[in-house]
Amino acid sequence: MTEPRCERCGTPDAVQLGERTLCETCYFEMNSCCGHEFEPVPAMEGPVLKVVKGDITTLQVDAIVNAANKTLLGGGGVDGAIHRAAGPKLLAKCATLAGCKTGKAKITPGYRLPAAFVIHTVGPVWHGGQQGEPDLLASCYRNCLNLALENNAIRTVAFPSISTGVYRYPKDQAAELAIRTVNETLTPFPGRLEVSFCCFSDEDADRYRRLLACEV
Ligand code: ADP
C-alpha cells in the first residue's frame, strides 16, 4: 500500500481530511490563513462556585471555614455551632494557636465534623466601611483559599457569610466581595478547588444565587 503523502507539500504521514490529503502543518496553515473552520480552543474553565443552603457543620466537604473571633476560643453564631459539632478537641487545638489577627486564617483538623479541616478566619467588625473593612474581608477569603490551595487533601471548601452576623457587615456588599475575591483568587488554578457559599437562610442563598447569575 502506498504511503499517504500530503498533496500540498509531499510529506508522508498525511491524513484524509474530507476531499483532501494533508499533513498536520499544511492543514494548520491552510485553515488558519483562510479563516476556515479550525479546532476551537477549549474555553478556560472558571472557578467552580456553588450555593448551599443549610448548616455548615453538616456539609460533606474537605474543609469548612469558621467565622471566628481573634481569640479562636469559640463564640456564638457559626463559630459556636462549629465548636459544638467538632467537639472539645477543636477548642484544645485552637488554644495552642495564639489567636488570629483580623483578615488572617489558621487551619486545624475538623475532629468530629464531616469536614476533615476547619479553616478559622477573623472577619472585620463593620464600622461604616471607612476603616479598611472591605480589604480585611477580602483578605479573609484570600488567606483561607491560600491555606486550602497549599493542602492537596483539600478539593472542596465551604464558606459561611463571614462578618455578616454579629459583626454587622452589610450582606449585599459582603456577598459581592466574597464572590469577586474567590473568583479572582482561584482563576490561576482552574479546577483545583470547588467552593460552596453556605447560607443559613433562604434570603441569603437567594442573594448569592442572584449575584452568581450575573457574575460579579
Ligand atoms: P460574624 O461574627 O463573622 O458576623 P456570625 O457567626 O455571627 O459571624 O455570622 C456569620 C454568618 O454565619 C451569618 O450570615 C449567619 O447567618 C451565618 N451562620 C450562623 N450559623 C451558621 C451555621 N451553622 N451554618 C452556616 N452559617 C451560619
How many angstroms separate the alpha carbon of residue 48 from the centre of ligand 1?
22
pLDDT score recorded for residue 40: 45
Which residue type is seen at 36? H
Residue closest to 155 by CA, chosen among 81, 67, 91, 61: 61
How many angstroms separate the alpha carbon of residue 32 from the centre of ligand 1?
54
Element of type H or E holding 15: strand 15-17
Mean pLDDT over residues 189-197, rounded? Answer: 96
- The pLDDT tens digits of the residues spanning 56-109 come to 999 999 999 999 999 999 999 999 999 999 999 999 999 999 999 999 999 999
Residue closest to 122 by CA, chosen among 147, 134, 146, 105: 105
Least confident window among 62-76, 82-96, 157-171, 201-215: 201-215
Cα–Cα distance, 190 to 123 (Å, whole number): 26
State which of 56, 64, 78, 84 you would mutate to test the pocket of ligand 1, scoring each by most atoms of that ligand within 8 A of its C-beta.
Answer: 78
Residue closest to 111 by CA, chosen among 89, 80, 84, 78: 89
Cα–Cα distance, 209 to 43 (Å, whole number): 23
pLDDT at 44 over 70: no
Cα–Cα distance, 86 to 71 (Å, whole number): 17
Identify whether the C-beta of residue 157 lies closer than 8 Å to the C-beta of residue 196. yes
Least confident window among 38-42, 113-117, 136-140, 145-149: 38-42
How many angstroms separate the alpha carbon of residue 162 from the centre of ligand 1?
7
Q: Which residue's entry shows cell 479546532?
A: 39
pLDDT score recorded for residue 216: 55
Q: Which residue's entry shows cell 466574597?
A: 178
pLDDT score recorded for residue 1: 61
Phi, psi of 75 (to 5 degrees): -170, -150
Identify whether the C-beta of residue 23 lies closer than 8 Å to the C-beta of residue 13. yes
Active site residues: 79
Which residue has the CA at smallest separation from atom 20 of ligand 1? 78
pLDDT score recorded for residue 37: 46
Q: Which residues line ligand 1 (CB under 6 A)?
A: 55-57, 67, 77-79, 81, 123, 160-167, 198, 200
Q: Are strands 105-109 and 117-122 parallel, antiparallel or unpaired?
A: antiparallel
Q: How many CB atoms lie within 10 A of CB 42?
A: 6
| DSSP letter (8 states) at residue 201 | S
pLDDT score recorded for residue 118: 98
Which residue has the CA at smallest separation from atom 7 of ligand 1? 165
Cα–Cα distance, 47 to 31 (Å, whole number): 32
Which residue type is seen at 112? R
pLDDT at 34 over 60: no
pLDDT at 35 over 50: no
